[in-house]
Amino acid sequence: MNSDLLLAGVDEAGRGPLVGSVVAAAVILNPDKPIVGLADSKKLTEKKREALAIEIKDSVLAWSIASVSSEEIDQINILQATMKAMKLAVEGLSVRPDKVEVDGNRCPDIDYPVEAIVKGDDKVQAISAASILAKVERDQQMIELHQSYPEYGFDRHKGYGTKAHVAALQAHGACPQHRRSFSPVKKVL
């Protein structure tokens, strides 16, 4: 790819959890400020992700984060909500990209040349950066939700359907941010 082209990398966090928003991030890296250590967010420790997220926000040409709520996920389904969050993240960039590369095998409907790259968060640095921003933002949302609903343990499992989370769902029912269209939540309602 031409090095003068502005590439926006896009990724999401939170498709699988039973609670909370799906979060997407878009990042345009600054070729003059390379960031060491970018990788798929799932392969980094929480501490490393948080440190990189600060560096990413300080170093890149543009970044944007967008969320779609659990209520909207229940209305339009998780795939459509993910595509919407990605579209909103790209549209929120302060710099217009020449091309957008998205982690995965589907592209949001956006007004840019766009390509889906399977395992893009491992292959494309801008997508790695986006995966880190999305994961750190989503984890922060779960820590904040934990303050209101500590009985679920969102600070530990980040909303994923772990044994502890499902047990808490069965014991306490669903909180307002639980995704009612997801099977384990439907079962307790």
Q: What's the rounded Cα separation, in Å, for the pair 42 and 50?
A: 12
Mutual angle of helices 125-148 and 46-59, in 10-degree steps: 120
- How many helices (H) and strands (E) the chain has is answered by 8, 5
pLDDT at position 38: 96
**Cα–Cα–Cα angle for 14, 91, 15, nearest 5°?**
10
Number of CB atoms found within 10 A of residue 18's CB: 23
Sheet strands side by side (includes 99-103): 62-68, 22-28, 7-13, 99-103, 114-117
For residue 12, what pLDDT is reported?
98
pTM for this entry: 0.96
- pLDDT at position 3, please? 60
pLDDT, one tens digit for every residue, the chain (189 residues): 456 799 999 999 999 999 999 999 999 999 999 999 999 999 999 999 999 999 999 999 999 999 999 999 999 999 999 999 999 999 999 999 999 999 999 999 999 999 999 999 999 999 999 999 999 999 999 999 999 999 999 999 999 999 999 999 999 999 999 999 999 999 998
- Phi and psi for 69 in degrees, rounded to 5? -70, 165
Q: Where are the domains of the chain?
A: 7-137
pLDDT at 4: 79
What CATH number does the domain located at 7-137 have?
A: 3.30.420.10
